[in-house]
Structure 1
Amino acid sequence: MAFHLRSVSLPSKRQSNEAEIEDELQSLEASISSPSMTIDGLKRLGDVYSQIEEIIRLPSNQVFSAQQRKMLDVEMECSLEQIDLCSTMQESFSELKAIIQDMHAILRRGDNANIQAKIQSFTRLAKKAQKQCKKISKKTTPDKEDCKLVKLLIKARVLTVSLLESTSCNLSQQLVVPKMSLVSKAFQKKKIVVCEEEQLQALECIIGDLENGADLLFRRMIQSRVALLNTLSS
């Protein structure tokens, strides 16, 4: 009796496509000014860097001209600054979480002795991040560069800096302007205390999501940088 064996091929992992990455970057750029975009944007950018890492590892991207290598060296330098910037943002999120915890305590005790100092500490971190953003934004490369990988890295870098700067500005405004006025009112009426507690809890959730998004982006940027470093070193 003859047996006919049928081979079953399992679906392979889908390769990242340069055009799809460009479309995703354009989509992110179009909505970057929206405050609600920051949390989702950090995660989506993390995914973009993961896709760029796959592009870097393709055999077709293992040989570069002298000019292309020069461009990629610039992006290697910028990637370190981006990682440092993302680390600064993570510090500011941790500082902000501590501030929110103090605000909860203020509403319970009616004592705001240390809150101003902590807000100033967060503001300093936010300004440091914004200064880093401006520094990195100045580093661009010619639009005529024909290397698609270089173009993707530039677009991702510019968008990452814009998103992190927007996040920093939005958080500074949410905390310093409305929150302090609400805290001062909280000592006047119990109803406002309840309202403030709810707003602080909402802000605490937002900070947690931003922290997770920044952590993902941080790790993915490191991974893509390592892949590029290995490619340029080979």
Structure 2
Amino acid sequence: MANPPVRSISLPSREHPCSVRIEALLNHLKSFQFSPSAPYESEIIQSSLAGLAELYNCVEEFMNSPSMQQALTTAKHAAGKLVEQALEGSITLLDSCNMAREILMTMKEHVQTLQSALRRKGRGRDSSIESTIHAYLSFRKKAKKDIAKCLGGLKRMEIANNVTNASSPPLDLSQDLLNIVKILGETSDITISVFWSLLKFLSLPTSSATKAKGWSLISKLVRTRLVPFEKEESKIVNLAANIDISLQTLLGNVQSNEVKVAQKMLETLNLSSEGLVAGLDCMFRCLVQNRVSLLNILTR
């Protein structure tokens, strides 16, 4: 399934100054949409998470500005319905963010264990590589199932958002409230898109076609003695999925060149995981703060 579509952004020019930055960030994040030829690259996802965190900070400032607070107070009943909708979706986003963060941290632990085992193998010591590989692949299999459930939740949220976006807003909403509705809707849409891409990066299935491509890539890396791995990396459809393939080649057939390929891939994945976890930590705090602000609107 393709990434959820993100609509073009265009807010009225006379809006609160913060809305100009929000519009720029939304359009910037939209430009990160992944092309079919190079989908789900970790660096792009990391940049998307950083931009998303900045967007949430701007939305927070926008919602807490005096003019917006006055608009929310004046139309408390209408605002309450809007906030309740946003709160419902916030749970799905928090769950998605937390799951991705936990999977990445567990993956990082497995990767470091694998790296240690492969280093010991390189020194000629018995490292029980096969049991370590089996543990990693078992984790990956379970993680893919968990991510599939999470993607289902994001898809349901996307459908609900589309229904809301297609319906006409109440006629009695002020321009300020209409702007809040638009900003919250666009922010929700782009968050779904970024999280969707991250989760797919972590869970792309290893189909027979992908596996064949992965084997071809691994063979090429071995033949070229790993000289330009960084250049070859851009050709990898999905790094995590290709590591699965690389590790499977080592089961019962550990060769020095194949160990070097796996070590290089694991090193890249380890570094990518660090950046992604840092981005998700920041995003989780932003989502919690956003939920607190929405709850404050309902309870004041």
- TM-score, normalised to structure 1, is 0.84
Can you give the 5+ residue segments of structure 2 that lack an aligned partner in the other structure?
1-15, 122-126, 170-174, 205-237
Counterparts of 1:113 and 1:171, CA distance in 2: 18
Tell me the C-alpha RMSD between the 2 structures: 2.2
Which of 166, 185, 189 matches 2:249?
A: 185
SS in 2 for 1:114: helix
Q: Which amino acid aligns with 2:112?
A: Q
Work out whether residues 89 and 129 of structure 1, in 8 Å CA contact, stay in contact via their aligned partners in 2: no
Work out whether residues 99 and 119 of structure 1, in 8 Å CA contact, stay in contact via their aligned partners in 2: no
Counterparts of 2:137 and 2:117, CA distance in 1: 12
Counterparts of 1:83 and 1:116, CA distance in 2: 27
Work out whether residues 32 and 44 of structure 2, in 8 Å CA contact, stay in contact via their aligned partners in 1: yes
Counterparts of 1:161 and 1:126, CA distance in 2: 14
Counterparts of 1:16 and 1:218, CA distance in 2: 26
Q: 2:285 — aligned with what?
A: 219
Work out whether residues 39 and 209 of structure 1, in 8 Å CA contact, stay in contact via their aligned partners in 2: yes
SS in 2 for 1:31: coil
Mapped pair 1:166 → 2:230? no
Identity among equivalent positions (%) equals: 22
Work out whether residues 108 and 273 of structure 2, in 8 Å CA contact, stay in contact via their aligned partners in 1: yes
Q: Which amino acid aligns with 2:88?
A: E
1:75 to partner: Cα distance: 0.6
Q: Which amino acid aligns with 1:77?
A: E
1:201 to partner: Cα distance: 0.8
1:105 to partner: Cα distance: 4.7
For CA contacts below 8 A with separation 6 or more, give which structure has more relative contact order: 1
Question: Superposed, which structure 2 residues align to 1:92-111 within 5 Å?
Answer: 92-105=103-116, 107=118, 108=121, 109=127, 110-111=129-130
Cα shift readout 1:131-166 (whole Å, capped 9, x = no counterpart): 221122122223654511121111111111111111
Which of 48, 53, 56 matches 1:46?
A: 53
Question: Superposed, which structure 2 residues align to 1:1-40 within 5 Å?
Answer: 17-33=18-34, 35=41, 36-40=43-47
Counterparts of 1:211 and 1:179, CA distance in 2: 19
SS in 2 for 1:61: helix
Structure 1, 70-79 or 123-132: larger mean CA deviation: 123-132
- TM-score, normalised to structure 2, is 0.67
Can you give the 5+ residue segments of structure 1 that lack an aligned partner in the other structure?
1-14
Mapped pair 1:148 → 2:179? yes
Counterparts of 1:82 and 1:119, CA distance in 2: 22
1:212 to partner: Cα distance: 0.6
Mapped pair 1:209 → 2:283? no
The aligned length equals: 220
1:185 to partner: Cα distance: 3.1
Mapped pair 1:127 → 2:127? no
Work out whether residues 119 and 176 of structure 1, in 8 Å CA contact, stay in contact via their aligned partners in 2: no
Structure 1, 115-124 or 216-225: larger mean CA deviation: 115-124
1:38 to partner: Cα distance: 0.5
